[in-house]
Structure 1
């Protein structure tokens, strides 16, 4: 299965026994929207609510960190995910959080057949496709989650990379947050960016119909940001959500040596000891 599937494809697959559709909608802190309530009001037929905002390590002070294997396993089984399931992740969020859900499937070994619905619920609705309401009660699945940290980076990894400069850092936050001109949405967090990183705002990756840009148009975003396709990349953002958009975009262009800094600015910006830069890259 490719990284992205079309709304036409999904419409033709609805009801298949091995298909699991998950709503991974998530909003930035302070956004007056409730993803669970919106799911209950209208979702793609057969979908279940992934609860991406709640699927994080309860013992880690940094918000949104990858959960323990047991927690991820329990959550996925409750959503009806089996070892052989084809998993389609979508969202109805301006931060395009489905990419984070897709990446989580990958790092927990659940993503061999996982993909993102290109255009998400907004495109599905714009095309007049069906929805249903209410809670989802899927039959329990048997999937087992085992975290592989090969493409996960820590604060220690980023500090080491500042010295080695082995990998390029690409930040998916908006330009104002990256430069420090805009305050962070989490109170008490420093503004700015990790020294040496480049900025490609996540919103730049999407076309007017909410689908991901493709081919030369997509590649141009990276070239304009000074990306060297021959060097590894570490993606970062506010809390590891929109960083997954950059990772998915690079993989769709055939680049595989890409990792994601899970703590991102939520960890880096709260730590007074980490170096920080402001202004343009």
Structure 2
């Protein structure tokens, strides 16, 4: 059984027939791409995979995108995918590493321990000639218990405290152009820039060929951003998706004191009472 948050394509191929294995396709695409992840799943996915819909497994009572659901809602929707506390869960996405860490993070903070991300995702799996299918299977409902670990989720109030001088370092996973405000936000009406004091750590900089960079390279990137073993890290992005990719990278390096700001820039940038900085710093 893997002890790292990542599994390789070869490990998954070798263990594809395990009875305790649950595979989840957590693909998600920004609206500008005009891609439908559920339709793509219907056309091609890893055999036995279920579609983990980040937009559906979310809080329906807020206008903010794909915020965390309640405990009961999470258990109801996720157990229907065959997920249980006794299962080995592997999550992947259609981009390599993009949205799969969001599902990994959600599963972990709701109490599941044996959860892993497929490094390189579906692109690497297909490039290596491993099997795919369009056959959709219906799993038996999993036996799932758990509750949200709120220490791994930050809200607006906590992030405001960090901006105002409380201990913490904000790591922004968005592209550098969005961080500096040179590029517009993809969501209409959103202000551009970043939270004062934040450091730019784009998820794409943590990857190479759709996989996470080697451990020593990840450590160097975080060290250059100001992360130390004692740092309380706040992971943020546009809407809480790629922030989870930064959280996963921190976990790989052995850094434990970090959490995801679930509202991220969708919340911060849409308000008129939150401070914004522009430029590289």
Which residue of 31, 34, 37 maps to 2:36?
34
Shift of 1:228: 3.1
Give the Cα–Cα distance (whole angstroms) in 1 for the partners of residues 263 and 137 of structure 2.
Answer: 31
Quick check: 1:214 aligned with 2:214? Answer: yes
Deviates more, 1:168-177 or 1:62-71: 62-71
Q: Contact (CA 8 Å) 2:101, 2:244: kept in 1 or not? A: yes
Shift of 1:165: 3.4
Give the Cα–Cα distance (whole angstroms) in 2 for the partners of residues 229 and 278 of structure 1.
Answer: 28
Q: Contact (CA 8 Å) 1:15, 1:46: kept in 2 or not? A: no
Q: How many residues align?
A: 279
Question: Any idea what the Cα deviations from partners look like across 1:161-211, whole Å, max 9, x if unmatched?
Answer: 122330100000001111111111110111100100000111111112x11
The 5 Å alignment of 1:232-247 reads 232-247=232-247
Matching residue of 1:83: 85
Quick check: 1:120 aligned with 2:121? Answer: yes
TM-score (structure 1 length as normaliser): 0.96
Quick check: 1:137 aligned with 2:138? Answer: yes
Matching residue of 1:170: 171
Unaligned runs of 5+ in 2: none
Shift of 1:231: 1.6
Question: What secondary structure is seen at the aligned counterpart in 1 of 2:31?
Answer: coil
Give the Cα–Cα distance (whole angstroms) in 2 for the partners of residues 27 and 189 of structure 1.
Answer: 19
Matching residue of 1:253: 253
Matching residue of 1:147: 148
Matching residue of 1:160: 161
Give the Cα–Cα distance (whole angstroms) in 2 for the partners of residues 150 and 201 of structure 1.
Answer: 23
Question: What secondary structure is seen at the aligned counterpart in 1 of 2:251?
Answer: helix
Matching residue of 1:198: 199
How well do the aligned residues superpose, as a CA RMSD in angstroms?
A: 1.2
Matching residue of 2:231: 231
TM-score (structure 2 length as normaliser): 0.96
Give the Cα–Cα distance (whole angstroms) in 2 for the partners of residues 191 and 263 of structure 1.
Answer: 16
Give the Cα–Cα distance (whole angstroms) in 1 for the partners of residues 270 and 220 of structure 2.
Answer: 33
Matching residue of 1:109: 111
Question: Any idea what the Cα deviations from partners look like across 1:44-82, whole Å, max 9, x if unmatched?
Answer: 111100111222100122111101112111111110112
